[in-house]
Amino acid sequence: MSDAYDNTLELNFDVLPGELEKFRLRVREFAQDVVAPRVQDLDAAPADDFDWDMVTQGHSIGLTRVAIPRDYGGLGFGMLGAAVALEEVATVCAGTALIFGAAMLGQAPVLLSGDPRLQARFLPLFSGDAPVLACNAVTEEEAGCDLIIPDNAVHARDVMTARRDGDHYVLNGRKRFITNAQVANFASVFANMEGFPGATGLTSFMVPLDLPGVVRGPVADKLGYRLCLGSELTFENVRIPAENMIGDEGDGMAINIAQSNMARASVAGISTGVARGALALAIDWCDTRVQGGRPLREHQFTAAKLAEMTSKVDAARLLYLRAAHKVDNELPAPQYEPAVAKYFADRVAIDVADLAMSLAGARGYLKSFGLEKRLRDAYGARIYEGTPEVLALAITESLYDEERA
């Protein structure tokens, strides 16, 4: 055996570095002690019901500022910390995880900007005594994927507009399906500069949502992720200072791609959490349910399903940990690893929840068991931050990228 490799070095994929491991355990305690007792009632509540107390308790342990650098009052754990934390919360409730995940996404363009003045103005606001939430306003009625695929930009239709007016920009348009829009203090908003076809002049702005002309629409009544609120944002001649522009005019497409490459690792963490929660229910059920004189887990068909489920959950976690680590250590954030992690984990969430349902039988079909909610939630991540089709394009593009080869 070659001595070129020091096999005494330990690669431990189960314990995170120092303070991050302690943070993960605090988040796990929050998920189990604060979120879990409320989930069933909140999931069944009217679509516009929102638990500010739960969010406040999550804020108190740092879930609204995980990725913000310590210089600006954040925890400084980057995307690795965000992904790990969101897995813990999503193991109990994906919707609660997305409240905090959407807030992080709203912060992402400012983090990516590298502009110390912009960062100093906005990032410390998320570290006060009371929770401050953000949202990321990209999607529109006629424009979704066209705002993230550069070759599609010219074909985008009816995109929200921005017009320069002295030392301000004037925004007009409507955004749809925006998580946290109903409760956020700020939105990172993407609008196309007037005079540019499609979305070829896409530009990003940080917009306080208490400005005149901002209208929050009704909350959508969703299949899953019911604990986070998704709604419309309408902008009617909203004037924002030019200093609120992120980057330069026309940088919006690049910023949107970069923030997606950042966020996909954390969304993969959410999907991994959904799968892990479903797996935990299945493990407990198969240990206590007796058929043919033996616990279900001792039957070959059941054992095969449990083995498949746990293998997929572990693989999904390893993929998102790799992706998040690369996002935190490479500039620009890579496209391939986050896309692969999300592509895989999103499918795993659905597959594992479905297999758990087949093992639980009639019990799994009951709301009180907690599994049918996880199955509903499992489908959500296939929509936001890249559908399987968009992710497949990103992955395949990377496979043929000469620089990657």
pTM above 0.85, yes or no: yes
Q: For position 16, what pLDDT does the model report?
A: 86
pLDDT at 11 over 90: no
Under the banding of pLDDT at 50, 70 and 90, the label for residue 5 is very low
Element holding 57 (H helix, E strand): helix 52-60
**Domains: count for the chain:** 3
Shared-domain flag, residues 164 and 72: no
The answer to whether residue 4 is domain-embedded is no
pLDDT at 189 over 60: yes
Shared-domain flag, residues 178 and 122: no
CATH assignment of the domain containing 375: 1.20.140.10
Both tokens assigned to 328: 């935190």
Mean pLDDT of 313-328: 97
Element holding 216 (H helix, E strand): strand 214-219
Shared-domain flag, residues 227 and 304: no
Question: How far is 371 from 357, CA to CA, in rounded Å?
Answer: 7
The 10s digit of each residue's pLDDT in 131-179 is 999 999 999 999 888 999 999 999 999 999 999 999 999 999 999 999 9
Shared-domain flag, residues 264 and 386: yes
Shared-domain flag, residues 115 and 155: no
Whole-number percent of the chain with pLDDT over 70: 96
Last residue of a domain, one of 211, 234, 249: 249
Residue type, 122: F
Mean pLDDT of 245-252: 97
Question: How far is 123 from 112, CA to CA, in rounded Å?
Answer: 12
Shared-domain flag, residues 109 and 186: no
Structural domain including 331 reads 253-399
The 10s digit of each residue's pLDDT in 202-245 is 999 999 999 999 999 999 999 999 999 999 999 999 999 999 99
Shared-domain flag, residues 261 and 358: yes
Element holding 170 (H helix, E strand): strand 168-179
List helix spans (H) across 289-367. Answer: 300-329, 336-360
